[in-house]
Structure formats: C-alpha cells, structure tokens
C-alpha cells in the first residue's frame, strides 16, 4: 500500500502532526508512507522515523502549478491520500491526482473532494493542536498512540553545530542561551527587541552565558537592536542557518527563549528547555507539548486571546511581560 500525507505549511503545525504520522505508521506498518510538503521540511524528517519519502510541492497559487503537482502525485499511484492540511486547494490537489481514497476534515467546502471525511468540532476551551490531528485519525477509525513529539539529530549534525559555534568564537564551557525574537505570523506575536536586549544583559551579567540570536532575514533589525545594547555581542545567526543547521545549534542550547513560533517547538522536540512568550495566541492550543518548558502569558486582558497578526490596541498582552520575569524563568534552567 502507498499512502501520501499532505502535511501543514508551518513548522509548528508540522511538529504537532508528528504523533498523527506515528500513529498512521503504526496502524499501517506494511505501507509505504510519503509526505507531500514544501521542500524545506526535509530537514525536519532527516531521521526517517515518520515517512519513507518526501515529495516536494511548490506553492500552488496558480492552476498551472496545481496541475503539475497533481501529475507528479498521480504518477506515484498512491492508494490513499491523508490531508493534515485544512485548505480547499490541498483537497483539490488530491482529487486532481486521482488518488482513490482521500481522507481529511470536512471543512471549507472541500467535502466534495473527500471519499472519507470527519466533521471538525469547535472546542471551548481549546485543546492542544496535537489532539486536533489525532482526532482526525480517530474519526477515520484508526487507532492512535500516546502522543509524543520528538526529533532525532544525527551525531554529525551535533558536531557541525559545535564547530559552527566554536568557529564564531563561542566559549562552549559556558551555557549557550538562544534568543529567538521573530515570529513569521506577524508583529502581534513579537515581544519587543528592546526587552530581549534587557533580558540578554541580565543573562550575561548574572549567569555568564553565551548568547546567540536566531531568526530569518526579516529579523535582522531586531538582532541589531539586541546587539547594540549588550557589552558582549551575541552570536548573530539571523538569516545565516538552514533549518537543519538551526536544529543542530538549538540542540546545543541550555535554554531557548522565544516568541510563540515554529522554532520554539523544534527546541521542545529536541527536549531543550524552552521559555515561551505568548501574546495574542492561546497556549492551551500551541504551548510546548513536553517538559522542560515554561510559558509566560498575561491572559487577564479583555481582548485575549485575539489571534490578530497586528495589535489594534496597545499590545499589552506582551508589553506587560518584563525582562526580569523572563530572566527568572530562564535562570531556573541554568547552573
């Protein structure tokens, strides 16, 4: 049997879906399981625990691209297509690829493309997104395993990370603390760079740590603001790592301090201690799934949670989080 799984487009959602992939594999141990996803996910699945192969998909904004992707899928002769995405276009893709069995949540008008579907139920209070994906499998009649999110990092990946940090002048006898000030979702999720800078100073002065700043190219201004405030300049890795390299460097951290964003869940999957700063989003749905992790949030605000990309008010959900408060949480994980 050949099964193709369309996995989500965001790092955090991909990681939340791992327990569902593990359960699928356990339910069909004889099956050849492929993942259809953006090419970037290959670094998350380097260990090969969850799937046999990956089919990279381009953005499917144009009908021409969708048709080409459908042809590539059809050529593989998959028998089952499982949709862990919610979009209309992903269901249309599997239908256009003539996959005989197409399974997924029945939402956004895409039920017509599915041969077996599960109704999406709203929850109040929300449960963690991990269970959202597992409920789909249960609704399809598949057994599920106790959920665990884990990533394996080959020894060579760990060694490359050590050499990278040493090559940047890091004293690896001191604890490395990573500051991750970005969030691709939007500015409403971002604790101010000035607060990360205050926090960095506390960590340097009171704990003698080596600081590293991570993120994408769009986080360069935040990294520069943090560095300008600190007497000992942090290692600036912003825009300079692949996803695989970031995994390796994260694995070397004593603590990973971050907004609610995908790399937070990468660190958690590696069991690196995480301090997660939550603003407009609800940690009941997207908190780090495993210990060791500390979530800091201010939920006694009338507009919380709003899930807005930009705050229409005064951003108090994040501005009320102080550098001292985050330092205390991080210090609990440091010698």
pLDDT of 243-256, one tens digit each?
999 999 999 999 99
Total domain count for the chain? 2
Q: What pLDDT was estimated at residue 278? A: 97
User: Has residue 6 been placed in a domain?
Assistant: yes
Q: What pLDDT was estimated at residue 262? A: 95
Final residue of a structural domain among 139, 168, 190:
139
Confidence tier at 49 by pLDDT (50, 70, 90) = confident
Final residue of a structural domain among 75, 106, 139:
139
Confidence tier at 300 by pLDDT (50, 70, 90) = very high
Confidence tier at 320 by pLDDT (50, 70, 90) = very high
Q: What pLDDT was estimated at residue 155? A: 83
Give the CATH number of the domain where residue 74 resides.
Answer: 3.40.50.2000
Using the structure block, give the residue that is written with the tokens 């958690």.
268
Q: What pLDDT was estimated at residue 251? A: 95
> Do 279 and 181 fall into the same domain?
yes
> Do 324 and 201 fall into the same domain?
yes
> Do 253 and 162 fall into the same domain?
yes
Confidence tier at 35 by pLDDT (50, 70, 90) = very high
> Do 14 and 135 fall into the same domain?
yes
User: Has residue 246 been placed in a domain?
Assistant: yes
| Domain limits for position 26 | 2-139
> Do 35 and 161 fall into the same domain?
no
**What gap in Å lies between CA 324 and CA 172, rounded to an integer?**
25
Residue 35: beta bridge partners?
5, 54
> Do 134 and 178 fall into the same domain?
no
Average pLDDT, the chain: 95
Residue 122: C-alpha distances to residues 79, 107, 125, 138, 318 (Å): 30, 12, 9, 16, 27
pTM for the structure as a whole: 0.94
User: Has residue 148 been placed in a domain?
Assistant: no
Q: What pLDDT was estimated at residue 79? A: 98
> Do 132 and 173 fall into the same domain?
no
> Do 132 and 200 fall into the same domain?
no
Residue 88: beta bridge partners?
none
CB of 255 closer than 8 Å to CB of 178: yes
Percent of the chain with pLDDT over 70: 100
> Do 167 and 307 fall into the same domain?
yes
Give phi and psi for 212, each to the nearest 5. Answer: -130, 140
Counting Cβ atoms within 10 Å, is residue 130 exposed (0-12), middle (13-18) or buried (19+)? buried
Give the side-chain half-sphere CA count within 13 A for 5.
27
Residue 83: beta bridge partners?
6
User: Has residue 173 been placed in a domain?
Assistant: yes
User: Has residue 149 been placed in a domain?
Assistant: no
Query: Is the pLDDT at 123 greater than 90, yes or no?
Result: no
Q: Which residues contact 112 (CB under 8 A, 6 or more apart)?
A: none
User: Has residue 310 been placed in a domain?
Assistant: yes
**What gap in Å lies between CA 328 and CA 335, rounded to an integer?**
13
User: Has residue 152 been placed in a domain?
Assistant: no
Using the structure block, give the residue that is written with the tokens 């495993």.
290
Q: Which of 177, 175, 187 is nearest to 212 (CA)?
A: 177
Report pLDDT digits (tens) over 144-190: 999 999 988 888 888 999 999 999 999 999 999 999 999 988 999 99
Report pLDDT digits (tens) over 257-294: 999 999 999 999 999 999 999 999 999 999 999 999 99
End-to-end Cα, the chain, rounded Å: 51
Confidence tier at 114 by pLDDT (50, 70, 90) = very high
> Do 216 and 312 fall into the same domain?
yes
Q: Which of 283, 297, 302, 304 is nearest to 325 (CA)?
A: 297
- The stretch 4-13 carries a mean pLDDT of 95
Instruction: Choose the weakest-confidence range: 21-25, 57-61, 169-173.
Output: 57-61
Query: Is the pLDDT at 105 greater than 90, yes or no?
Result: yes
Q: What pLDDT was estimated at residue 180? A: 98
Final residue of a structural domain among 94, 113, 139:
139
**What gap in Å lies between CA 126 and CA 265, rounded to an integer?**
18
Q: What pLDDT was estimated at residue 125? A: 84
User: Has residue 151 been placed in a domain?
Assistant: no
Q: What pLDDT was estimated at residue 163? A: 93
> Do 236 and 96 fall into the same domain?
no
Q: What pLDDT was estimated at residue 4? A: 98
Q: Which residues of 34-73 are buried (b: 16+ CB within 10 A; e: fewer)?
A: bbbbbeebebbbeeeebbeebbebeebeeeeebeebbeeb
> Do 199 and 324 fall into the same domain?
yes
């Amino acid at each position: 049997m050949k099964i193709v799984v369309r996995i989500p487009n965001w790092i955090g959602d991909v990681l939340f879906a791992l327990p569902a992939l593990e359960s699928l594999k356990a339910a069909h141990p004889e099956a050849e399981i492929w993942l259809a996803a953006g090419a970037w996910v290959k670094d998350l699945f380097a260990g090969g625990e969850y799937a046999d192969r990956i089919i990279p998909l381009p953005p499917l904004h144009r009908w021409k691209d969708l048709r080409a992707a459908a042809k590539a899928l059809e050529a593989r002769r998959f028998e089952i297509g499982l949709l862990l995405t919610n979009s209309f276009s992903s269901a249309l893709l599997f239908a256009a690829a003539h996959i005989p069995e197409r399974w997924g949540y029945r939402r956004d008008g895409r039920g017509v493309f599915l041969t077996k579907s599960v109704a999406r139920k709203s929850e109040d209070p929300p449960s963690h997104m991990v269970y959202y994906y597992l409920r789909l499998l249960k609704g399809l009649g598949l057994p599920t395993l106790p959920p665990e999110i884990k990533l394996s990092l080959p020894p060579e990946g760990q060694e490359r990370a050590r050499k990278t940090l040493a090559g940047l002048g890091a004293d690896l006898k001191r604890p490395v603390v990573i500051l991750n000030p970005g969030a691709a979702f939007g500015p409403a999720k971002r604790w101010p760079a000035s607060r990360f800078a205050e926090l960095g100073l506390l960590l340097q002065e009171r704990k003698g740590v080596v600081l590293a700043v991570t993120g994408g190219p769009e986080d360069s201004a935040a990294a520069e603001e943090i560095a300008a405030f600190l007497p000992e300049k942090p290692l600036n890795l912003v825009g300079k790592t692949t996803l695989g390299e970031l995994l390796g460097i994260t694995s070397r951290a004593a603590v990973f301090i971050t907004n609610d964003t995908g790399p937070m869940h990468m660190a958690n999957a590696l069991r690196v201690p995480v301090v997660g700063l939550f603003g407009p989003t609800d940690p009941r749905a997207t908190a780090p799934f495993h210990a060791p992790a500390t979530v800091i949030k201010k939920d006694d605000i009338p507009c919380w949670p709003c899930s807005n990309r930009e705050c229409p008010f005064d951003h108090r959900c994040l501005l009320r989080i102080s550098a001292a408060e985050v330092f205390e949480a991080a210090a609990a994980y440091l010698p």
